[in-house]
Chains A and B, each alone.
Chain A
Amino acid sequence: MELGFGSAYDAFRQEVRDFIVAHWPPADGDVKSSAHERAFVIAAIERGYMHRSIPKAYGGSEQPSDIVKAEIIREELTKARAPAGRIPGNGLVVPTLLEWGTEDQKQKWIAPTLRGDIVWAQGFSEPNAGSDLASLRTRAELSPDGSKWIINGQKIWTSHAHKATHMFCLFRTEPDATKHAGISYILVDIRQPGITVRPLVQMTGQKEFSEVFFDNVEAPADMLVGERGKGWNVTRSTLKHERSGIATMTWSLSMFRDLVKLAKEVEIEGQPAIKHPRIREELAAIEGQLLSLTYSTYRATSHDVHDREIGSFQTMPKVYMTELAGRISKLARDIVENDFIDMGGERLKWIERFMISLSMSIAGGTSNIQRNIIAERSLGLPRDKTQEAAA
């Protein structure tokens, strides 16, 4: 067993650091400038540090697959607060285009997406199609001359729609076909009349999601990805690219470090909360879960690198982290006590986390859907009867 990365990788890490220092933060210190961000991303692609799995022909850096290098790059970019070249929607659409797109579609869309010139939002969920996504009803009809799609309906929970230039969507194109067989995957330029983006205000007060209304919106016929009526298969590749175990673990670690800091800062009965036996013990119990997640993730990553089966842990990180985040935010609540209700106070961050930890149980497949996946794929239980009937 070896938990370090080894000396060859240490040298690689140093190269990455040197690159980042030379390019970020930008000379004028303006880290918010999108031009600077674009320049950084392009330089990083040239060096082979970003979009490593994507062919050069489509604007990627086409590097041999190496999970450890990818992780080192990710760690160093995060540490330096440098642009990660990762726009959530873009990361979802590119693998789909690579797998299902025509040569023309790949040429046209992938390179500008990697550079950040096109920003994608996902248009899957609808008010009546949440976990049961395949029941979606927004219609796309081919115009009589076959040149374009005419789209009517509504999408919801669209992240960062106000920043997006395009959406990749699932629409119902074959209303007479069975549920899953009537769906197509279509790209839409949302800078056109007929699109209305209405932000949804979350319980935290933030506006991260929107509703998007389609009123006779048009998309050229060649914006269809994959075959007509086969959108459900096309989208499976998108969903499977959504999760990375190591990112999950790193996020939890940083939240826990904040929690320990909080427990040292806040006093209970004249001494730091961390000295209080109940707080201390719960903190250690949370750390036990966190260490479990951390080292099982190392184990899973090592198995992946060496082409061994990961086993049943594979389906578990998301819901495990969701539960952990809930437990962390509840202990923070116990530590801050009265400050827990003051959204204008100094503990706002923890109040927000108390709520945001709930969004984790919903976004990207609810915890109950995750449990269904664990039941079927990891425990080998028979497929849920109700889902079968619907499919």
Chain B
Amino acid sequence: MNFLLTEDQLALVDSVSNLLRDKCDPLQVHKVFNAQGDAQFDRDLWQALCELGVPAIMVPEAYGGLGLGMVDLAIVAEALGKAVAPVPLLGHALAALAITLGGSEDQKARWLPLLASGEVLATVALCEGKGGWLPEAWTLAGPSMTGVKTLVPNAAEADLIVVGTADGLALVEKGAAYTCARIGSADRTRPIDTVTFDGAAAEPLADGAAATTRLIDAAAVLIAADSFGGADHCVAMSVEYAKMREQYGQPIAGFQGLRYQLVAMALATEPSRGLYWYAAHAWDAMPDKASHAASQAKAHLADTYLQVTRDTVEAHGGIGFTWEHDTHLYMKRAMLNWAWLGSPSRHRLRAADLAGW
């Protein structure tokens, strides 16, 4: 048994974390979060992550990628979640994965090198209506695509959208007949659009139908990893604050009521690290267990993250309820993680189905 990260994986996380420390400190995140008008992402930070090879992690080496696995991508997603990094990795990495899994040779050769380098920005359009996240609910169809997809990350900036369709997945390029309306998403670190297709030219992915479930599972793992990173940071932030903040002449960390709240947060968070690792590892190495593990990880971690952010506000008192503090950045990121790809309840019922209950 060897359930631990390799030296290479530890080095990868280190390099991403160092970059985030330099270029994604809380001040910078607040600056991006507070930009006037529609939510934006941090283009300098994204450029730096592209130079480091982050979008190339799971792209096969033959197409200019690093040819690594889901564990590698997930531990990077954890680091980005920890820093509430305002970058479009979620949609972009999933789009690249969709093409890797379902694209023809030509489709892969055309798009993957551009996605791996970050020259082209891509995203995925999955959900229809309020909760139609899974392939069974997808109705849009090409080659001339009409209909609406909701909660699409960074659609307005994307050069390429991978759309979930009635019979698989399809590529829609920028300039085709669609419009994006940015919603007033709580989470301004990852802008979200409603995309209305109106006879847009769509090119099916050759083997798209076979890729949809793998794509959903990958999305679930990435949300789980981001959630773990955020929750873990919230625990650390609350603990640090409790050690520093003084009332009644002593650090509030000395008061048992607060201590037990902090312990409850840590107990909810730390053990779920193994759950998201397992889901990522199952995606890479145990295909028959991957969907169940992914849904369990997404459900458990999205729930945990949101609750931990509420606890974090409580642990900070008044300062934690202000716009200037970091707490709301995390809570709002947790809100998107809770809703995006479907609520914890939907994923638990999916896991129950998959368990054969």
Q: Show the binding face of A for B, using Cβ within 8 Å.
A: 1-6, 68, 260, 263-264, 274-275, 277, 280-281, 283-285, 287-289, 291-299, 301-303, 305-306, 308, 311-313, 316, 319-320, 323, 368, 371-372, 374-375, 378-382, 384-385
Q: B270 to A306, Cβ gap below 8 A?
A: no
The residue among B235, B256, B263, B357 with the most chain A CB atoms within 10 A of its own CB is: B263
Q: In the assembly, what is the distance between CA of A308 and CA of B232, in Å?
A: 20
B296 at the interface (CB under 8 A from A): yes
For B4, what are the chain A residues with a Cβ–Cβ distance below 8 Å? 1, 299, 302-303, 306, 308
Q: A296 to B273, Cβ gap below 8 A?
A: yes
A-B contact pairs, 13 of them (CB 8 A): A6-B1, A280-B349, A284-B296, A284-B349, A285-B299, A288-B297, A288-B348, A293-B274, A295-B275, A302-B2, A305-B1, A375-B259, A379-B239
B141 at the interface (CB under 8 A from A): no
Q: Which of B336-357 contact A (CB under 8 A)?
A: 344-345, 348-349, 351-352, 355, 357
Q: In the assembly, what is the distance between CA of A283 and CA of B296, in Å?
A: 11
For B278, what are the chain A residues with a Cβ–Cβ distance below 8 Å? 3, 291, 294-295, 298
B122 at the interface (CB under 8 A from A): no
With contact pairs A291-B278, A302-B2, A312-B266 given, residues A381 and B271 touching in the complex (Cβ less than 8 Å)? no
For B2, what are the chain A residues with a Cβ–Cβ distance below 8 Å? 1-2, 302, 305-306
Which residue of B is nearest A289, CB measured? B300
- The interface residues of chain B, by DSSP majority, are classed as helix
Q: Which of B258-287 contact A (CB under 8 A)?
A: 259-260, 262-263, 266-267, 270-275, 277-278, 281, 284-286
Q: B271 to A1, Cβ gap below 8 A?
A: no
With contact pairs A1-B281, A381-B253 given, residues A284 and B351 touching in the complex (Cβ less than 8 Å)? yes
Q: In the assembly, what is the distance between CA of A284 and CA of B251, in Å?
A: 40
Q: A288 to B242, Cβ gap below 8 A?
A: no
With contact pairs A291-B296, A293-B271, A313-B273 given, residues A1 and B3 touching in the complex (Cβ less than 8 Å)? yes
The residue among A320, A323, A374 with the most chain B CB atoms within 10 A of its own CB is: A374
- Minimum CB–CB distance from B77 to chain A (whole Å) comes to 16
- Minimum CB–CB distance from A298 to chain B (whole Å) comes to 4
Q: In the assembly, what is the distance between CA of A169 and CA of B294, in Å?
A: 50
Instruction: Give which listed residue, B235, B254, B260, B293, contacts A385 with CB less than 8 A.
Output: B254
A-B interface pairs (CB < 8 A), number: 160
Q: In the assembly, what is the distance between CA of A117 and CA of B197, in Å?
A: 80
Q: B267 to A316, Cβ gap below 8 A?
A: yes
B243 at the interface (CB under 8 A from A): yes
Q: B243 to A299, Cβ gap below 8 A?
A: no
Which residue of B is nearest A272, CB measured? B357
Q: Show the binding face of B for A, using Cβ within 8 Å.
A: 1-5, 71, 235, 239, 242-243, 250-251, 253-254, 256, 259-260, 262-263, 266-267, 270-275, 277-278, 281, 284-286, 293, 296-297, 299-300, 344-345, 348-349, 351-352, 355, 357
Which residue of B is nearest A5, CB measured? B1
Q: A320 to B3, Cβ gap below 8 A?
A: no
The residue among A1, A5, A298, A371 with the most chain B CB atoms within 10 A of its own CB is: A1
- Minimum CB–CB distance from A190 to chain B (whole Å) comes to 38
For B254, what are the chain A residues with a Cβ–Cβ distance below 8 Å? 382, 384-385
Q: In the assembly, what is the distance between CA of A2 and CA of B284, in Å?
A: 11
With contact pairs A285-B299, A375-B262, A381-B262 given, residues A298 and B270 touching in the complex (Cβ less than 8 Å)? no
Q: In the assembly, what is the distance between CA of A263 and CA of B357, in Å?
A: 9
For A298, what are the chain B residues with a Cβ–Cβ distance below 8 Å? 1, 3, 274, 278
Q: B299 to A288, Cβ gap below 8 A?
A: yes
Q: A281 to B349, Cβ gap below 8 A?
A: yes
Which residue of A is nearest B71, CB measured? A1
Q: A316 to B271, Cβ gap below 8 A?
A: yes
Q: B300 to A374, Cβ gap below 8 A?
A: no
For A6, what are the chain B residues with a Cβ–Cβ distance below 8 Å? 1
Q: In the assembly, what is the distance between CA of A172 and CA of B71, in Å?
A: 55
Q: B357 to A260, Cβ gap below 8 A?
A: yes
With contact pairs A284-B296, A375-B262 given, residues A299 and B348 touching in the complex (Cβ less than 8 Å)? no
With contact pairs A292-B275, A382-B253 given, residues A287 and B351 touching in the complex (Cβ less than 8 Å)? yes
Q: In the assembly, what is the distance between CA of A372 and CA of B242, in Å?
A: 15
Which residue of B is nearest A71, CB measured? B1
Instruction: Give which listed residue, B3, B260, B286, contacts A302 with CB less than 8 A.
Output: B3
Q: In the assembly, what is the distance between CA of A238 and CA of B253, in Å?
A: 30
Q: A379 to B349, Cβ gap below 8 A?
A: no
With contact pairs A294-B274, A305-B1, A374-B266 given, residues A280 and B352 touching in the complex (Cβ less than 8 Å)? yes
Which residue of B is nearest A285, CB measured? B348
Q: In the assembly, what is the distance between CA of A1 and CA of B3, in Å?
A: 5
Q: In the assembly, what is the distance between CA of A194 and CA of B250, in Å?
A: 51
- Minimum CB–CB distance from B145 to chain A (whole Å) comes to 34
- Minimum CB–CB distance from B227 to chain A (whole Å) comes to 13
- Minimum CB–CB distance from A96 to chain B (whole Å) comes to 29
For A275, what are the chain B residues with a Cβ–Cβ distance below 8 Å? 357
Which residue of B is nearest A282, CB measured? B348
For B355, what are the chain A residues with a Cβ–Cβ distance below 8 Å? 284, 287
Which residue of A is nearest B300, CB measured? A288
Q: A374 to B267, Cβ gap below 8 A?
A: yes
For B250, what are the chain A residues with a Cβ–Cβ distance below 8 Å? 385
With contact pairs A260-B357, A289-B300, A381-B253 given, residues A281 and B348 touching in the complex (Cβ less than 8 Å)? yes
The 9 closest A-B pairs by CB, nearest first: A296-B274, A295-B274, A288-B300, A284-B348, A295-B278, A292-B275, A2-B2, A298-B3, A302-B3
Q: B351 to A297, Cβ gap below 8 A?
A: no
For A368, what are the chain B residues with a Cβ–Cβ distance below 8 Å? 260
Instruction: Give which listed residue, B256, B263, B296, B357, contacts A274 with CB less than 8 A.
Output: B357
- Minimum CB–CB distance from A269 to chain B (whole Å) comes to 17
Instruction: Give which listed residue, A277, A287, A292, A385, contacts B274 with CB less than 8 A.
Output: A292
Q: In the assembly, what is the distance between CA of A380 and CA of B352, in Å?
A: 38
The residue among B4, B251, B256 with the most chain A CB atoms within 10 A of its own CB is: B4
Q: A371 to B3, Cβ gap below 8 A?
A: no
Q: A68 to B296, Cβ gap below 8 A?
A: no
Q: In the assembly, what is the distance between CA of A289 and CA of B263, in Å?
A: 16
Q: A320 to B267, Cβ gap below 8 A?
A: yes
With contact pairs A291-B293, A382-B254 given, residues A2 and B1 touching in the complex (Cβ less than 8 Å)? yes
For B300, what are the chain A residues with a Cβ–Cβ distance below 8 Å? 285, 288-289, 291-292
18 more A-B contacts (CB under 8 A) besides A274-B352, A280-B349, A378-B270?
Answer: A1-B277, A3-B286, A264-B357, A280-B352, A284-B296, A284-B299, A285-B344, A295-B274, A296-B274, A298-B278, A299-B3, A299-B4, A305-B1, A308-B4, A316-B266, A316-B271, A371-B263, A375-B262
